[in-house]
Amino acid sequence: MKKYIMALDAGTTSNRCILFDKNGNICSVSQREFTQMYPHSGWVEHDPYEIFNIMLGVARDAILKAGAQAEEIAAVGITNQRETTVVWDKNTAQPVYNAIVWQCRRTAEYCQRLEQWGWGEKIQKKTGLKLDAYFSATKIKWILDHVEGAREKAERGELLFGTIETWLIWKLTKGRIHITDYTNASRTMLYNIFECRWDQELLDLFQIPVSMLPEVKNSSEIYGCTAPEFFGSEIRIAGAAGDQQAALFGQQCFQPGMVKCTYGTGGFLLMNTGYKPEMSSNGLVTTIGWGIKNEITYALEGSVMIAGAVIQWLRDELHLIDSAADTEYLASKVKDTNGAYLVPAFVGLGAPYWNSYARGVFVGLSRGVNKSHMVRAALESMAFQANDVIQAMREDTGMDMNLIRIDGGAGSNNLLAQMQADFSNISVVRPACVETTALGAAYLAGLAAGFWDSLRDIQKHVQENRSFYPQMDQNIRKKKLDDWKKAVKCASYLTTL
């Protein structure tokens, strides 16, 4: 009997595998971090082999922990850090270069030149995206331009491109399946999200042969099976989605207007906009929420480059805290930040500012600012950045937006959740299962595999953990939001020095 759905969640800093039962309960979890490489300032790379090996390891471990057999797993769903780019040789199965991570800014100057040549608007009209180094297209071009012999091989049809789910599926099927799903395709800056096809004009612009690209499939569909040698017998691979879209699905934001915010390494807010793509005039991007039975649900997204990563910085570089969880206690010891604001523009600023050259600033410091104030300012920076996106969504859609669903590692921080409610004047709801990304991937795979019958079937699982309501005086809110804007100006001003 099929008892489990297995979700593989390939995040930016760690891979995890979770086995879910029919009620959406977690039966086992295994997680491991992998190496982050920073070869130059602003560059970020991962080793694709390490990602695959760690994923295989945590998957086997989770199966073992649950006491499960591969035959009892109805299907596997894969979700992934998006945009991160792998190019490999299909004959040798060797990546020709490390994975270039979504955070990597190496192609920022090239993007700026394209913007000056007038490509920004055209690219947005086709892909829904902001012309930026964040997305895969310029990363692929960089590899073809800089790795010796890569372009010739690509032109001979010997190289393949994939985001992380494509790479994992290719490896798990021993090179039999080279696919992506609608959500991941929509993050490449090569996919026309309105006509649902790879865009030849953009492929020509970036000099990328179409033969490198994976076939685009539904986010919920049986693509094939894992090779038997990995888990003892074959398991169907039945779902794939970028992690932020998977979280939108896992949070059950099935109706237009529903919004989720994930506080992971970065912060990502997505609003379901239904079958209609909404174009933003306020710095958000239009993207694909999911594709099921070739029916596309669109989303409006604001991506914040540094969210939980600011807490890692406090821990690993400043040694102000021992663990991320300490921030809640430390920041609660003071009632405010004593006038301090931190803008963690470590890799520039994403939505809604899109400034690759901004850099972080700590402003408003006085002699009385202590460790607790600084930690509190770091937590506030996550809520302020998410609020900037919420305001942009309000302006773009004309909707009031009175409720947001939160998740992600930092989403467990109660003080942060309360700050979000206060700064955005919004109700914040946190579900009982905060592993919404993995849950979304499990739902997508489980629906395709018949483990669950319908959306109605999975809607029975929703369990709220806690809600947070706005309590801040509106004059204080206004003053704080005004001060934050000034701090952001300081971070942006650094680019002109």
Ligand X SMILES: Nc1ncnc2c1ncn2[C@@H]1O[C@H](COP(=O)(O)OP(=O)(O)O)[C@@H](O)[C@H]1O
* 102 interface partner picked from ligand G3P, ligand X, none, CB below 5 to 8 A per type: ligand G3P
Residue number with CB closer to ligand G3P (20 or 102): 102
> Which token pair is 102?
């979504």
The CA–CA distances, whole Å, from 270 to 133, 216, 217, 286, 348 equal 20, 22, 21, 10, 21
Question: CA-CA distance, 389 to 385, in Å (whole number)?
Answer: 7
Choice between 8 and 410, CB closer to ligand X: 410
Question: Binding site annotation covers 477?
Answer: no
Annotation-wise, does 173 bind a ligand? no
Closest contact distance (angstroms) between CB of 243 and ligand G3P is 5
Contact flag: residue 247 with ligand X (CB under 6 A): no
Backbone angles phi, psi at 74, to 5 degrees: -65, -35
Residue 398's Cβ-count burial label (10 Å; 0-12, 13-18, 19+) is exposed
Q: According to the binding rule CB under 6 A, does residue 327 interact with ligand X?
A: yes
**Which residue type is seen at 139?**
K
Contact footprint for ligand G3P (CB under 6 A): 11-12, 81-83, 102, 242-244, 264-266, 303
Find the shortest distance in angstroms from Cβ 302 to ligand X.
16
353 is in an annotated binding site: no
Q: Closer CB to ligand G3P, residue 352 or residue 364?
A: 352
Minimum separation from the CB atom of position 475 to ligand G3P (A) = 35
> Is the CA virtual torsion 272, 288, 380, 16 positive or negative?
positive
**136 labeled part of a ligand binding site:** no
Q: Is 12 annotated among the ligand-binding residues?
A: yes
In whole angstroms, how close is the CB of 80 to ligand X at the nearest point?
10
Q: Please report, as a single letter, which amino acid is at residue 217.
A: K
Q: How far is CA 218 from CA 196, 215, 223, 435, in A?
A: 11, 10, 9, 22
Question: x-or-dash pattern for ligand X, window 372-411, by CB under 6 A?
Answer: ------------------------------------xxx-
Q: How many whole angstroms separate alpha carbon 15 and alpha carbon 33?
A: 6
Residue whose CB is less far from ligand X, 159 or 345? 345
Please count the other Cβ atoms lying within 10 Å of the Cβ belonging to residue 414.
13
Residues 407-426 binding ligand X (CB under 6 A) are: 408-410, 412-413
- 366 has binding-site annotation: no
Q: Are strands 236-242 and 73-80 parallel, antiparallel or unpaired?
A: parallel
Interaction site with ligand X (CB under 6 A): 11-14, 264-265, 308-309, 311-312, 324-325, 327-328, 408-410, 412-413
